[in-house]
Structure 1
């Protein structure tokens, strides 16, 4: 493929430097200080260390400095002066370092009045002779060193000779955050990127610029990333790695060796795992963590091990043979079962592993695992587990779980069929009430079938004369009426409810009512009251965990009413910020369905009020 260009930058050429303004400003300050001898950029592979120092060299040359470049490597490190041999006079004898220093020191002194700028990429790979000579030239003020150090690789003995003192400034680069990735993609592609696409590219790349670049180029070549003129979108289900990216990751994982590789394969299939969940030697885990290919995080006494980057798992899974993969999954499931499977998420883990290995698992285990996945908001996992349960093994509870997951993943018609079946199978009034509420939410919020949803709600109200169940049904009705364009009627219904009593006995019902009333008040222009209620809902939502009563998602609880209140009050920038934060939270939490849909509509309305009719599409 030839050089591709979409926006102002050629995609296969050098990408623009975005999000590093502070580092460039610091370099300019360092270069102007005559007492400072070097500027070193540190960071893991792919964060843009080389790209940043190239920009630094350009800035130095613009100020009249002469510049020379050298790239350290493992082969060159085995030869004295191997990295900087092309910068030395021909008569320098590696065996005579004193005479060599005298000879070398004359060259830059005669070449330029200002200090010579020397760029060395991957300083950690310098041979000792080059380190000593470079340090000497820095100490006498003949050169200014600009270098990079890879922090996720092995530390060499040569690096001990690079002293971190006031004379050398260190900058540590991290991966780009999501906002900076969005800015970079907009600049490179020449237009805005959809929120789902941004989330997928950011999540897959982890903010690593090198990986992001390969993902984008691969998607463009495959036709999976395209724009119809205003917005760039990634096709659903498009691959998240390319041959070039696979090569880069394999090179990164080569440090693991045979034993470490086997553990990485297991982690790719089963992460997160604890040190006691595996039979790897502690030293193996320590070496992998030091090499930066796995991460260890602590939660109380429990330690969780994960791969350091999401793409590592994709590549490892793709390269693990099928028979070996199945054997590893089954062996890990048996290992956890042998230890009693006492953790809250063990049922989910074992069910997922057995299902992935054999395509089947014990129905009761699948249902328990689905319940755990539902509490984590992982509706896709709920579907994956429950779709394999035979009809005769489904209970009312499992059908409710399955129907809700279908609803939350946007499959309205299928959800209605499953939830109607759950209602017919229900043996208690509580099960029928939960089924009715879920059906109502699905019909109204996901199916836009307002008339049917209200009729179903009316029918349920006729069977429930009093009590908390009736109050919840009335809250559902008030919410639907409010969002159907009758906020005043919605407020009247909600004001008639004993909301404080409801809060004491049914927190999630109180949250739903408070959110609904706050939204209605915002639409009526009573923005201060709406803001106060929405803030109260946010505090309560964060203080109380989800239960099994299908509570409102964060978008309904406080994001929507806060967004509406700010927008109706004319604070459009704040409304935009709240909506964007809500979208990020919903995507990160793997939630879709009603929360994500209505949050997107709310954000679109804000952009429309701001006079940006095309912006809502992102």
Structure 2
């Protein structure tokens, strides 16, 4: 048996193992068919290892290209040294005899790996064994072999001698499971998405890539979470596999492959402008694939990671010549700006500085090294690239060099406008990178005072509004933003002012206004790329509280981002310019916030931990918010020790958009420890901070949390504050939570139940469950309403995966428990009445009370209710 396949290669293949094993046990065997590296050999090993050694004798052989050149080469170990003198008939007899000798009374199982490499004579022997039923066959074959397959091999499954099992690459969930096994730890969701996209879910590529990345430091653990750093690479082992496939290409085919690797997907016309009539041969070899798109034929590489392998083999002069040819193909449809910018760098000729700046902005978040390359080259042509270069340097972790670039740009600025641009960017650097929003606001105020042009002053004030917002001074930020928008119709200050006002609206609870203004900002063609991305963050944030993500949207347990948020995010400039989906650092935070709002604390913790890591470098825009939300989520999940460790590892700093966030996080930890008085004081203090800044939505959230802490319901003063805050907000989720907390003070069971149903409808199942439990206690003597409340509690508890509490000793009387047990066992009412010598009416009345107490509808629900 082969021993070089680790067990991790069969992760997420349980169903395929069962199907293949069943075919071997009950039929003539199975043929596992799939592309290179999908895990066929690992499946062979797994299935063979599960065969009972007392019943089956497993015999292994491997077919190779080289064995095709040797007579009966694949069966060398079974035919011995006399194979050169054997013809097909004698060889078949010798093979059958050897298998019988080895297996004795057991059934022989012939395992042939890479069966597509069998020559015609060996294939005929295997087909003969299958046709006679002398042995079970367990074989693996490539679905897209490079060479023709013997018709005898195809006949194995075509004529039904063995069952064909097609194995596809892993899905996203399977990729996550395999990564978990490979690193023996939790992998960041963004890294799972990235590696799945790079490898196409191919287990061989994934395994080799992860092992190489761990050894080289590309994949490393930080704070218990594995994280990919830097661009993709091709491990030496995979490079050898790809090199074998790329050998023997003509010069034209190599040029065509280089062109596609430099810009896939590429229009067929563009490829043919570089190398005419080469694509067809590459497609026949499986190296490229074509598809219709936008009224033209698009060409892509046919293997995951093949682009990286082609880049690795591509000589500089060929790369330069092919890129120049692609740029010269003016009659071909232009690719996206990032690809065209790459061509300009590779061609080493004249460049379009504006194009390179756009490409640098688009790649800054997910590939800062490439962004720096674009920006450095553009800086040789335009001083405007200095700001973009500084941002790329920040994302790559070199904040000091970024500041030097901005200071140099301020000194060397050729015009007053260029100097102003550098000074504004430098103030932004002080705020977001050096974490000093107060200093940045002071610098911008002084700069605005020195500026005489109204348009220039508007540009300064637009950025100042954002800086004030980042320092937690929401009311001042809104005032400055409104002043800019009152006095300026167009210009560089409009977009940041709109963005600041959108965030201010979201924090104040005006979610509809916030979303509308954010969408207007993002859709404006004059909005800079970075501001457009931030506008989408503001819109998504408002949509979370506004109920834009339904209760069933997004991942239940497999991860990924919410479809509603994806819809907002998908039209972004980053996506349009080649940024991978979910690559923006805010995506993990927004998804974690959504999951937390829906009560899915386990998944929310995963995403928020990733968000904290993603905001540990670069501009760290939402670092404080991500850290505080993670702490609060851990605390609400009943993990105060973990929450305190998270707070110590990533304490909030001076930059924070949500006023009072740190106090809220610390109060959540106190509440998780049962320190109700301290928690309530912390939450009300945080609400006061938010209220002073006009952030009514934030204040309502804090006060709602405080209202839940009071065992006998919130006190009158807290109720008045919460009612006042609720009167300012239109966010459905926040408003529903606040109104439910106000209902706690009134204590009406019917009202509590109605609010629980409303929260459940909004997807807020955790607070709905808690409210429904209080409704149960308040409705004990209210007949069917009590039953409705119990049913809702049971359903929400099951959804949350919680264990039902034990029944109170007096929940059911002895007679009720006896009758309920008999009914649960399947006895009808008349049979129960006969056994207990009571009337049928008595049985029915007892069961009615049992149903009401247990919160079930019929006897079908009794077994699970009684077990609980």
Task: Give me the whole-angstrom Cα distance separating, in 1, the residues matched to 2:301 and 2:519.
Answer: 43
Task: Give me the whole-angstrom Cα distance separating, in 1, the residues matched to 2:467 and 2:392.
Answer: 11
Figure out how many residues of one structure are paired with residues of the other and give that number: 570
Task: Give me the whole-angstrom Cα distance separating, in 2, the residues matched to 1:159 and 1:428.
Answer: 81
* Aligned partner of residue 56 in structure 1, secondary structure: helix
Task: Give me the whole-angstrom Cα distance separating, in 2, the residues matched to 1:602 and 1:45.
Answer: 43
Q: Which residue of 2 aligns with 1:47?
A: 38
1:307 equivalenced with 2:301 (yes/no): yes
What's the CA shift for 1:576? 6.5
Q: Which residue of 1 aligns with 2:73?
A: 82
* Aligned partner of residue 389 in structure 1, secondary structure: helix
After superposition, the Cα gap between the structure-2 partners of 1:352 and 1:49, relative to the gap in structure 1 and judged at 3 Å, is same
Q: Contact 1:193 / 1:233 at 8 angstroms: preserved in 2?
A: yes
Which of 168, 172, 180 in structure 1 is aligned with 2:166?
A: 172
Q: Contact 2:364 / 2:371 at 8 angstroms: preserved in 1?
A: no
Q: Which residue of 1 aligns with 2:770?
A: none
1:274 equivalenced with 2:267 (yes/no): yes
Task: Give me the whole-angstrom Cα distance separating, in 2, the residues matched to 1:165 and 1:597.
Answer: 64
Deviation string, structure 1 residues 103-135 (Cα, Å, up to 9, x no partner): 543444564444310011111111111111211
Deviation string, structure 1 residues 20-47 (Cα, Å, up to 9, x no partner): 10101112221232xx223111122222
1:148 equivalenced with 2:140 (yes/no): yes
* Aligned partner of residue 142 in structure 1, secondary structure: coil
Task: Give me the whole-angstrom Cα distance separating, in 2, the residues matched to 1:207 and 1:601.
Answer: 34
Q: Contact 2:72 / 2:83 at 8 angstroms: preserved in 1?
A: no
- Any gaps of 5 or more consecutive residues in structure 1? 1-9, 522-527
Q: Which residue of 2 aligns with 1:31?
A: 24
Deviation string, structure 1 residues 44-76 (Cα, Å, up to 9, x no partner): 222211111111111124462101111111222
Task: Give me the whole-angstrom Cα distance separating, in 2, the residues matched to 1:400 and 1:137.
Answer: 72
Q: Which residue of 2 aligns with 1:288?
A: 282
After superposition, the Cα gap between the structure-2 partners of 1:144 and 1:329, relative to the gap in structure 1 and judged at 3 Å, is same
Task: Give me the whole-angstrom Cα distance separating, in 2, the residues matched to 1:530 and 1:562.
Answer: 10
Which of 337, 348, 356 in structure 2 is aligned with 1:358?
A: 348
What's the CA shift for 1:408? 7.9
Q: Which residue of 2 aligns with 1:388?
A: 377
Q: Contact 2:592 / 2:604 at 8 angstroms: preserved in 1?
A: yes
* Aligned partner of residue 187 in structure 2, secondary structure: coil
Rg: which structure is higher?
2
CA RMSD of aligned residues (A): 5.1
What's the CA shift for 1:540? 10
* Aligned partner of residue 139 in structure 1, secondary structure: helix
- Any gaps of 5 or more consecutive residues in structure 2? 407-420, 426-443, 525-534, 555-561, 651-868
Task: Give me the whole-angstrom Cα distance separating, in 1, the residues matched to 2:20 and 2:350.
Answer: 59
Q: Which residue of 1 aligns with 2:325?
A: 331
* Aligned partner of residue 486 in structure 2, secondary structure: coil
What's the CA shift for 1:142? 0.7
Task: Give me the whole-angstrom Cα distance separating, in 1, the residues matched to 2:163 and 2:109.
Answer: 15
Q: Contact 1:218 / 1:242 at 8 angstroms: preserved in 2?
A: yes
Question: Superposed, which structure 2 residues align to 1:20-419 within 5 Å?
Answer: 20-33=13-26, 36-62=27-53, 64-88=55-79, 96-109=87-100, 111-159=103-151, 161-163=153-155, 164-195=158-189, 197-222=191-216, 225-227=219-221, 230-234=224-228, 236-237=229-230, 240-254=233-247, 256-279=249-272, 284-334=278-328, 336-337=329-330, 339=331, 343=334, 345=336, 348-358=338-348, 361-367=351-357, 373=362, 384-390=373-379, 393-394=382-383
After superposition, the Cα gap between the structure-2 partners of 1:504 and 1:52, relative to the gap in structure 1 and judged at 3 Å, is closer
What's the CA shift for 1:290? 3.0
* Aligned partner of residue 146 in structure 1, secondary structure: strand
Q: Contact 2:465 / 2:477 at 8 angstroms: preserved in 1?
A: yes
After superposition, the Cα gap between the structure-2 partners of 1:192 and 1:47, relative to the gap in structure 1 and judged at 3 Å, is same
Q: Contact 1:559 / 1:599 at 8 angstroms: preserved in 2?
A: no
Q: Which residue of 1 aligns with 2:636?
A: 609
1:567 equivalenced with 2:591 (yes/no): no
Q: TM-score, normalised by structure 2?
A: 0.54
After superposition, the Cα gap between the structure-2 partners of 1:498 and 1:568, relative to the gap in structure 1 and judged at 3 Å, is closer
Task: Give me the whole-angstrom Cα distance separating, in 1, the residues matched to 2:376 and 2:40.
Answer: 46
Task: Give me the whole-angstrom Cα distance separating, in 2, the residues matched to 1:438 and 1:450.
Answer: 15
Q: Contact 1:267 / 1:273 at 8 angstroms: preserved in 2?
A: yes
Task: Give me the whole-angstrom Cα distance separating, in 2, the residues matched to 1:539 and 1:242.
Answer: 35
After superposition, the Cα gap between the structure-2 partners of 1:353 and 1:432, relative to the gap in structure 1 and judged at 3 Å, is farther
Q: Once structures 1 and 2 are overlaid, which stretch shifts more, 278-287 or 55-64?
A: 278-287
Deviation string, structure 1 residues 377-436 (Cα, Å, up to 9, x no partner): 9887665434433488356xx788778878888888959965754798999978876775
Q: TM-score, normalised by structure 1?
A: 0.73
After superposition, the Cα gap between the structure-2 partners of 1:258 and 1:30, relative to the gap in structure 1 and judged at 3 Å, is same
Question: Superposed, which structure 2 residues align to 1:413-492 within 5 Å?
Answer: 420-421=423-424, 437=462, 441=466, 449-451=471-473, 458-465=479-486, 473=497, 476-477=500-501, 479=503, 490-491=508-509
Deviation string, structure 1 residues 563-587 (Cα, Å, up to 9, x no partner): 545524534357569879x98xx99
Task: Give me the whole-angstrom Cα distance separating, in 2, the residues matched to 1:272 and 1:529.
Answer: 34
